[in-house]
Structure 1
Amino acid sequence: MKTWIRTPGGRSAPTDAELTAAWQTASLLLGYPDEGLLARRPLLGQAVAALPPSLGEPLGRFLDHLDATPLAQLAADYVATFDHRRRCCLYLTYYAYGDTRKRGMALLRFKHAYRAAGLVLADGELPDHLSVVLEFAATGDRREGRRLLLEHRAGLELLRLALAEAGSPWASVLDAVSATLPPLDGDVREAVARLAAEGPPEEEVGLAPFDAHAGHPALLPEPVVGARK
């Protein structure tokens, strides 16, 4: 006899396997769209079809958009959305710390979490990129990855709301990510409202050696010999 785990609202909570599939799929869909993503489309469709509606339906909506949109247009939309909109930043610590000195310490906490699981970042990418965090949660350390997502839940929700307000197809991917986490409590709702009203802190400083650049972030087992393209 199967024992069902239910959320406070009565909805069955995703299983570990469903969380892994949802996080891995979302990680790929939130990366820069390229031919590699199109090559994975059949596998992504199979994974999404096996998910419960709360996860599968929003991810399926984005896959439908992927099928209907030329790759060049999708790539241009990605850049316009995530590179040119301050409230649509995929780097989670930006929402809490902006470009301040405190953000550098927050980035180190992400790196330490990855190293503890035997993983390091390829390509010199910042460790708080949402694609990286989701990949880590799916394939590295589920519990620690979930903790990182919850620690930055306010920023995650602000990103989701900003994408929805902009009418972005990527809002559906964030809907699925949010559905893998517990319902929002009062404290998180207040934090989201505060971020929406005030924005991230301002204090322009360098974040070396964490210099982000274009490309899809990736996690590799230690040691890293070269960057994955």
Structure 2
Amino acid sequence: MSLFADMLDYPQANLRDRVQEAEALAGAANAQAGQFVSEFRAFVEETPLGSLQEIYTGTFDLDAACHPYVGYHMFGETYKRSPFLVGLKERYRAHNFAAPANELPDHLAVVLRFLAVCDDEELSRELIDLGLRTCLEKMTGDVDPDALTEEGQEQPEINLGGLRVYKQVLRALQLVLQVQPQSVEALP
């Protein structure tokens, strides 16, 4: 899970190494997932870090369909999201997980990092089945490229390419989550 967290977090200098590791592990769990991560690896290898960071921001921060917040996809911007956030914080504390102070507890990368270290299989399954799957289904839905732009404006090619490869990572995560290992911690 921590490898997927690294791929779905703001790109850092070590991303290339983490993606290579994820490619091998995802491929072992599911061949199609490995192919999706392979496409992402190729994209990461040919794209400078600064451009990856811009693409990440355009994909996840500016497109509501791809906001990387589990609670947002479950509840939208309603009051129901607040108790969910508080509940996540309480679960994190109960399991001695220190979530980053600069990020909401329902950020996809934070949830994945928690799942990577959580030793409570029932809680892990609950987070996956009740939150993560819903979030991923909404984030990987088909998007009409024309809907991403205001009328008459042209969408830069690289943004659509970035959206496509990040959706491949999300689809790979969906496929890997379908595997029912003895422990969620064993997932990449």
Q: CA deviation at 1:162?
A: 4.9
| Residues 7-156 of structure 1 aligned to structure 2 (within 5 Å) | 23-38=1-16, 40-48=18-26, 50-141=28-119, 143=121, 144-152=123-131, 153-156=133-136
| Residues 147-226 of structure 1 aligned to structure 2 (within 5 Å) | 147-152=126-131, 153-162=133-142, 167-182=163-178
Pair 1:48–1:142, CA change in 2 (3 A):
farther
Q: CA deviation at 1:119?
A: 1.1
Structure 1 or 2: more helix by fraction: 2
Pair 1:52–1:96, CA change in 2 (3 A):
closer
Pair 1:77–1:142, CA change in 2 (3 A):
farther
One-letter code aligned to 1:104? S
Structure 2-normalised TM-score? Answer: 0.74
| Structure number with bigger Rg | 1
Q: CA deviation at 1:45?
A: 4.8
Pair 1:33–1:125, CA change in 2 (3 A):
same
Pair 1:56–1:46, CA change in 2 (3 A):
closer
Q: Deviations over 1:128-182 (max 9, x none)?
A: 1111111111222362233212112223201012579755211111111111334
One-letter code aligned to 2:111? V
Q: Deviations over 1:5-51 (max 9, x none)?
A: xxxxxxxxxxxxxxxxxx22211100111213245455445544544
Equivalenced residue count is: 161
Q: Deviations over 1:72-116 (max 9, x none)?
A: 211111111111111111001112222222111011121122122
| Backbone CA RMSD of aligned residues | 2.5
Pair 1:164–1:156, CA change in 2 (3 A):
farther
**Aligned with 2:135: secondary structure?**
helix
CA contact (8 A) 2:3 2:18 kept: no
Give unmatched runs, 5+ long, in structure 1.
Answer: 1-22, 184-229
**Aligned with 2:99: secondary structure?**
strand
Pair 1:163–1:176, CA change in 2 (3 A):
farther
**Aligned with 2:105: secondary structure?**
coil
Give unmatched runs, 5+ long, in structure 2.
Answer: 146-159, 180-188
Displaced runs of 4+ in structure 1, greater than 3 A?
A: 38-52, 162-167
User: 2:48, 2:173 → 1: CA distance?
Assistant: 25
The structure showing larger relative contact order (alpha-carbon pairs under 8 Å, at least 6 residues apart) is 2
One-letter code aligned to 2:76? G
One-letter code aligned to 1:93? G
